Each structure stands twice: as C-alpha cells, then as structure tokens.
Chains A and B, each alone.
Chain A
Amino acid sequence: MDIATLAFSALYQFGDAFAFLVLSACGLAVIFGMMGVINLAHGEFIMCGAYVTAATVHAGLPLPLGILCGTLASAFVGVLVELLVIRHLYERPLDTIVATWGLSLIATQGTLILVGSTMAGVGTPFGSFQVGAYSYSIYRIVLFVAALAVLAALYALFNWTRFGVLARATIQVPHMAAALGVDTRLIYSLTFACGAGLAGLAGGLYAPTMTLVPTMGATFIMEAFVTVVIGGADVFLGTAPAGGILAIVKSGMTSWQGQLFGQIGLLIAVIIVVRVLPKGISGFVLRERT
C-alpha cells in the first residue's frame, strides 16, 4: 500500500472520529458547557432523535426530512424537560445529576417496554467508494461535513444573532440580564431546547449507521462528556479543538490497538488535559486573550 492511500485512510478515520465526537458533544456543549446543567439524559435525547428519524423514514419520509423530525422532536422533549424538571434545579447541580439520571433510566426502560428491545434500522445511504485496497462509506464523509456545518451554525447563532447574545448575557450574569428586560426563563428554555435539538440531530444523523436499541445513548455519552470537559465553557472555541485533539488520539489508538484502546486513550487524554487546563481549552484560550 502506498503512502497516499495510507494517508487517506488515516484522514478518513480522523474525520470519522471527529464527526462522532463533535456531533455527540455539541448538544451537551450548550446544555452542560454553557448552561452548566450536568445532563446525564443527553444520550437519551440522542436516542429520541434516532428513533423518531427511523420511525418517520419507515413512514415514508426521505431521510433528511426524517432527521429534521428527529431534531425537532428532541427539541420539543427538551422544552418539556426544562419546564417540568430542570427549571426547578438550576441552583442545585447535584440534584440535577440525580434527576437527569432518573430521566435517562425512565427513557431507556420506557422505550424498551413501548417499542421493544430493538427497532428496525434505516439503510445507510450513498453506498461506498474505493481507495487502494479499501472501500469507504460516502455517508461518513457526509457526517464529517455535517459536523463542520453544525460548528459553523453554532458559532453564527451565538455570536451573530440577537438570541445568541441574549443567551450568553443571561448565562453570564442572569440577574442583570433580567434587570435589563430580558425574559431569562424564556432564554433558558430556548437554550436548553437548542441543546436537546442538537442531540436529536446527532441521533438522526447516526441512525442510518447504528443498531437502534433503547440503550444506544450510552454509546455517545462518554465521548460527549469527554469532549465537553476538555473543551470547556465556550461552544465553538472549546468543542472544535477538543474534537480535533481527541479525534487524533482516538483514531490513532484505535487503528493501533483496536476500539477498546481508542476509548482508553480518550480517558487518559481527558485526565491529562483537565490536570493541565482545569477550565478546558476554551478557558485557556480566553484567559490568554484577555
């Protein structure tokens, strides 16, 4: 095998790992990174997105519309969860952990009871292409592009729109935002819904590549938390570089020693980064900048 195909293979695996890390994490980056809500039900928002996507595709919708439905369904569930549970616990982070863990158990078991132990999947679209001796899935490239697009959209949303500026203001100094006329409850609801919707989007995008089982959220949640913890509070300055660094570690370790070592590599990376940069990459970047 020549250098070029080897390089392509490494790049492809990096892109695949990057997309998975970023798409798993971006919803959590909004809910945990920005808002500070430790949401252990993040994986179940992803599961919700995947299930709704699959169900709507089975009902005859094309995949992109199905993914849109999955995203909106998760965002809607996010609004309900914020209204009924999270809103009452903003000052009590430990209770939030228990509550969201409970939600996660209820969602997993509820899905098992209502839908059964597995749901018919959706075929992976686009087929594959050949480079050297190996064949690669075109859909994985689509996922990589989607991850970049989501990062760009988040950057634009939180920096260039009125909602984004009000959301950042509300999260930084809530009482002052309220005193300036911002309906902070509404902003919190919408921001939480945005995070939940992004989780649903991740689920929808990965639905064609996975077996749909009620516990599928667990596949995402470790990667999501690791990326957000390393990235720190800023969605764009944190999640993007964290995704990049972790993707190198994960794809490198995986192709060297297999899947298990990829996961171990992630955990070691998070321990080292948190030791050196307690506020994550974005905390470091922002301190340097000021």
Chain B
Amino acid sequence: MSGSRRSIWGRRMRKEVILTTVGLRAGYGGKPVLQGLEIEVREGEIVAVIGRNGVGKSTLMKSLIGLVPAMSGSIVYRGEAVEHLPAHKRARLGMGYVPQGRDVFPRLTVGENIAVGAAIKGGGIPEEGRQRVIGAFPILRERWSQRAGTMSGGQQQQLAIGRVLIADPNLILLDEPSEGIQPNIVQDIARNMVELNRRTGVTIILVEQNLDMIRAMAQRAYVMDKGRITASLEREALDDAAEMRRHLAV
C-alpha cells in the first residue's frame, strides 16, 4: 500500500510513482558516494534534495541520468529498471538533465544547443516546442544565433533548461540552478518552472542550497547526508527557517 493518508479523497488524488531508487550505491572508482540511497517521487511532484556540500547530491543526479554508474541497488523509472542503461537511453525515456554548472556547448549557438536537445525526437526543432521554450525564456529568442559560451551565467542556465524542455521530458533533474546567478533571474527561473509544472504536470527533482528557490518551488524535500537520505520534510517544514538552516549549514 503506497498511500499513507487516510482520506479516500487523498488516496484517489494520489499519482503514480515515476521514480524509485532502492539501496542505490554509486560513485567514482571503487568507493561509493551514494550508500544505499532510497527515494520515491510521484508524477507531477516538485521534490527538493537538500543537504550540506559534499554529501552526494550532484552524484545522485548524475547516477539518475546515468553519468555515474550504479554499483548496486536499483533505479526504477516509470516501471522500468534503468540502472544499467547508458545516459542517452535514459534521456530517450523522458529524463531531462540540467547539470550543475550548466554545461552548455560553448561554441554552438543558442539555436544549435537547443537543436541537440531536440534531436532525441528525431528531426529539427519543432515550431511548437520552440515557441514553448522562448515563451518561458524570451532571452533565448534574442540570443538565438549567439555562441552559448559568450552568454552570462543566468542566460546559460535558461538555455540549459530550454535545451531539455524542447524534448518535452517527463522528469527534469535540476542541479543547483541558482548557483552563481543574480537573484532576479533565480526568481524568474523558479516561477517559470512552477508554472510549467502546473501546466504540464512535469515532475522535477531539484538539488538546491538557495532557501528562496527551495521555498518558491518545492512541495517537499529529502535531506541527504553522507550518501543517504536522513530525513523527509513536508511543505510546512520547508517554511521553518531554523530547521532549514540546520539542514543546509555548510
């Protein structure tokens, strides 16, 4: 039985599980960074993963998309075990990864960066998708023919998100989108992502240190420490400043 709420309404409202990890151990070389990590995310949720620096949050994101190999345990995405699939196959199943540090293709133009994201679907950039992306991030329309490496951090972040949105993912892995970006753009991105989530029901896993962004976006949060989930916070706890500072303290 997956539901913990008693209300029949609650149970009926409950969505399907989109992603589960069981006993996930993953890392570089011989030593796992993730030590038996377990999470469960439902369709349409925005879940934050928080914790101090170096507890393995980015490694978790990389192992979900397939850039860091799973040593043991499982990752089930929409009912399919994906822990042995290479990254490009997971992307084709509908996972969109927005990495920490953005990793845009610096010498490709904005349009070409987005074309790489669209290539999963076969063919060029669909006009409907293009409208959706530049509707969310109008700056990308202005900079369409500019080399991505010459843009500011905030513009690159919007491009990195637009690049996955073009392929219409079911799950977006968003790794520290606020890092090194000015506050008004952080707010823009948060508002855009929440709106997108409401409109399309896309699921988002958000790794973040920025308290404002967590509060603006997340519906609940996992707290990570030393490669494990140590606590699960509901929405009310995210608004408790003292408790959040304790979890995020460096």
A-side residues, CB < 8 A to B, are: 162, 165-166, 168-169, 172-173, 175-184, 286, 289-290
Q: Which of B107-155 contact A (CB under 8 A)?
A: 107-108, 112-113, 115-117, 119-120, 123-124, 147, 149-150
Residues of A within 8 A of B65 (CB): 179
Residues of B within 8 A of A173 (CB): 103-106
Q: Which of B76-93 contact A (CB under 8 A)?
A: 86-88, 91-92
How many contacts between A and B, using CB within 8 angstroms?
77
Q: Is the CB of B147 within 8 A of A178?
A: no
Q: Is the CB of A165 within 8 A of B116?
A: yes
A175 and B107 in contact (CB under 8 A), knowing A166-B119, A181-B119? no
Q: Tell me the smallest distance from the CB of A171 to a CB of chain B, in Å.
A: 9
Known: A165-B108, A173-B103. 9 other contacts (CB 8 A): A173-B104, A173-B105, A177-B116, A178-B66, A180-B120, A180-B163, A180-B164, A181-B117, A181-B167
Nearest to B147 among chain A residues (CB) is A290
Residues of A within 8 A of B119 (CB): 162, 165-166, 180-182
Q: Is the CB of B124 within 8 A of A176?
A: no
Q: Is the CB of A169 within 8 A of B105?
A: yes
Q: Tell me the smallest distance from the CB of A118 to a CB of chain B, in Å.
A: 45
Q: Is the CB of A180 within 8 A of B67?
A: no
Chain B interface size, as a band, is 20 to 34
Q: Is the CB of B149 within 8 A of A290?
A: yes
Q: Is the CB of B117 within 8 A of A180?
A: yes
A176 and B92 in contact (CB under 8 A), knowing A162-B115, A169-B108? no
Q: Tell me the smallest distance from the CB of B67 to a CB of chain A, in Å.
A: 5
Q: Which of B158-190 contact A (CB under 8 A)?
A: 163-164, 167
The listed residue (B92, B115, B123, B150) touching A290 by CB distance below 8 A is B150
Residues of A within 8 A of B112 (CB): 165, 168-169
Residues of B within 8 A of A162 (CB): 115, 119, 123-124
Q: Tell me the smallest distance from the CB of B41 to a CB of chain A, in Å.
A: 18
